[in-house]
Amino acid sequence: MECATLRHSKWQNTLYQELNDNAKPVTIKLIPYVAWANTGKSGMSVWLPVLG
């Protein structure tokens, strides 16, 4: 599944940060959890930021 999101250019590897207007649209590919084992041996982190 693919969807659109925003990429923040100055991400500081921190858990939280203030939002700004410098984000650029990008397309990301989401792999359903049930299909993750088909991608080879690797770790998995799941997080999706929500703007409301």
Instruction: Report yes or no on 43 lying in a domain.
Output: no
Q: Is residue 49 part of a domain?
A: no
CA gap 49, 42 in Å, rounded: 22
Give the SS3 label for residue 29. Answer: strand
Better pLDDT: 11 or 32: 32
**pTM, full prediction:** 0.33
Task: Judge whether 51 lies within some domain.
Answer: no
User: 8 in a domain, yes or no?
Assistant: yes
Structural domain harbouring 28: 2-12+19-38
Work out how many domains the chain is built from and give that number: 1
Q: What pLDDT score was predicted for residue 10?
A: 65
Would residue 44 count as lying in a domain? no
Which residues contact residue 23 at a Cβ distance below 8 angstroms, ignoring those fewer than 6 apart? 6, 7, 8, 9
What 3-state class would DSSP assign to 32? coil
Closest by CA to 8, choosing from 28, 27, 18, 23, is 23
pLDDT of residue 23: 65
Does residue 46 lie within any of the structural domains?
Answer: no
Asked whether residue 23 is domain-assigned, the answer is yes
